[in-house]
């Protein structure tokens, strides 16, 4: 648990952060968000004392952070930044091993841990352990940055726009991977971003700041339903209904679908989707065409489906771009799991 009590930071006469109190529960992701200069990054850096607070107190798992030496405190807190900051003269392995080495771990333990982390972030250890940062793509470098933050298995992670510098596609993939990791690891995370969609997607709670002050601290659902004031409402944007859908997953609203087997296309039962003997999606049947062989159009499942763990907002956007009223829902292997209709997607907006 991270507990900020009346924390403030002044530079001369300017107040960067003003009397901020915030409690981040163990195992939760708290996203700090706000316009540039609102004090979100300052707040984050006060937690690991890269910036010393001018006033107030920060407790990490009940312990006053000022009772430790800054470097001791930081070794227990994972830290990843937007520019990644991998050490260019060290290999991927050595970069990830920095904190374990600082903590004096034995070599075999470091070796095992780094390999485990490379697997965890989906980089082949044989190929990437001895590579230098310049050989990595932007997304790979960000993954290594996250692995480096996780290296010594800290309970607390501080992320300063870690996915800010990559293209939107990669960012979305990194966000999904991060959510998957967090489900397993249950870290206490403070995450700074200026992207409200990222905040809604990743957070358990959002702290929205303006001019060094906390405007609202609530779950994304609460914030979308009841913005505390005009600033929060404006910052979230007009499409609150749509954003709300980002918090609902397809698996929670879809209906089951068996699909039609390739070999019995004539039996147009309940579904328009065609699967092979293994259940993998192969295409769809056009209900307006009567002759069976003309009705079938074959597709790669990746091109026409969404995953169970896709959020409804993305599914809706997919529906619109494909022009479908019903989307097939598959698992990671392309096996048809169900289908999502437009009405179902709309019903997911709950009581907004």
Partner 1 sequence: MTNPNRIALLGCLLAVSSLVWLPFLELKANRLVAGSGRRLLELGAAGWWLVGLLLLAGSSAFLIPRFRAPALAILGNLVFIVGIVLIGLDASKLLGSSTLARVSLAPAAWLMLVSSSFLIFAALNDLKNIWLKRLTSSVGILVFLVILLTGGLSSLSVIREYQTRLDTFWLEVGRHLGLAIWALFTSSLFGLPLGFWAARSKRFEGFILGFSGLLQTIPSLALLALLITPFSALVRAFPILESFGIRGIGFAPAITALTVYGLLPIARGVLNGLKAVPETALEAGRGMGMTSVQLFLSVEFPLALGLILNGIRTSAVQLVGLSTLSSLIGAGGLGVFIFGGLGSAANDLVLLGAIPVLVLAVLTDAGFRTLEQASIPKGLR
Min dist. Cβ of residue 76 to partner 1 (A): 8
- The terminus-to-terminus CA distance of the chain in angstroms comes to 32
What the block records as the tokens of 298 is: 């074959």
φ and ψ at 290, to 5 degrees? -85, -40
189 phi, psi to nearest 5 deg: -120, 135
Task: Point out which residues bind partner 1 (CB under 8 A).
Answer: 48, 50, 70-77, 79, 81, 83-91, 98-99, 102, 132-134, 148, 158
Nearer to partner 1, 120 or 165 (CB): 165
What are the beta bridge partners of residue 81?
160
Report the residue number, 192 or 281, with the smaller CB distance to partner 1.
Answer: 192
Residues 116 and 261: their CA atoms lie apart, in Å, by 41
Q: Are strands 63-64 and 213-218 parallel, antiparallel or unpaired?
A: unpaired
Question: Could you tell me whether strands 260-261 and 273-275 are parallel, antiparallel, or unpaired per DSSP bridges?
Answer: parallel
Strands 14-24 and 2-11: antiparallel
CB 142 to partner 1: min, Å: 13
Q: And the tokens for 69?
A: 């030496």
- Give the shortest CB-200-to-partner 1 separation in angstroms: 26
**Smallest separation, CB 271 to partner 1 (Å):** 52
Closest to partner 1 by CB, 89 or 184: 89
Q: Give the shortest CB-150-to-partner 1 separation in angstroms.
A: 12
- In the complex with partner 1, the residue whose CB is nearer, 136 or 209, is 136
Which one, 72 or 167, has the nearer CB to partner 1? 72
> Could you give phi then psi for residue 47, rounded to 5 degrees?
-65, -40
Instruction: State in angstroms the smallest separation of the CB of 151 from partner 1.
Output: 9
- Residues 281 and 300: their CA atoms lie apart, in Å, by 8
Q: Which residues contact 66 (CB under 8 A, 6 or more apart)?
A: 49, 57, 58
Pick 44 or 174: Cβ nearer partner 1: 44
């Amino acid at each position: 648990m991270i507990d900020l009590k009346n924390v403030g930071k002044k530079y001369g006469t300017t107040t960067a952060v003003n009397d901020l109190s915030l409690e981040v529960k163990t195992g939760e992701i708290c996203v700090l968000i706000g316009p540039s200069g609102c004090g979100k990054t300052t707040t984050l850096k006060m937690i690991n004392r890269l910036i010393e607070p001018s006033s107030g107190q920060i407790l990490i798992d009940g312990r006053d952070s000022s009772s430790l030496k800054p470097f001791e405190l930081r070794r227990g807190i994972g830290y990843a930044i937007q520019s990644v900051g991998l050490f260019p003269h060290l290999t991927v392995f050595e970069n990830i091993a920095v904190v374990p080495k600082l903590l004096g771990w034995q070599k075999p333990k470091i070796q095992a841990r780094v390999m485990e982390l490379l697997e965890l972030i989906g980089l082949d250890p044989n190929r990437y352990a001895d590579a230098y940062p310049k050989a990595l793509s932007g997304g790979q470098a960000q993954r290594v940055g996250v692995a480096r933050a996780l290296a010594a298995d800290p309970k607390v992670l501080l992320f300063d726009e870690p996915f800010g510098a990559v293209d939107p596609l990669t960012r979305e993939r990194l966000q999904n991977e991060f959510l998957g990791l967090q489900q397993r690891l249950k870290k206490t995370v403070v995450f700074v971003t200026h992207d409200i969609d990222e905040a809604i997607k990743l957070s358990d709670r959002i702290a929205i700041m303006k001019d060094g002050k906390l405007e609202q601290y609530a779950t994304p659902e609460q914030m979308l339903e009841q913005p505390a004031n005009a600033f929060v409402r404006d910052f979230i944007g007009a499409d609150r209904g749509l954003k709300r859908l980002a918090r609902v997953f397809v698996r929670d609203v879809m209906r089951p679908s068996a699909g039609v087997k390739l070999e019995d296309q004539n039996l147009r039962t309940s579904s328009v989707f065609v699967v092979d003997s293994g259940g993998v999606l192969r295409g769809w049947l056009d209900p307006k065409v009567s002759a069976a062989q003309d009705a079938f159009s074959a597709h790669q499942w990746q091109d026409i489906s969404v995953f169970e763990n896709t959020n409804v907002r993305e599914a809706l956007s997919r529906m619109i771009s494909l022009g479908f009223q019903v989307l097939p829902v598959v698992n990671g292997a392309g096996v048809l799991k169900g289908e999502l209709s437009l009405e179902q997607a709309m019903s997911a907006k709950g009581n907004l």
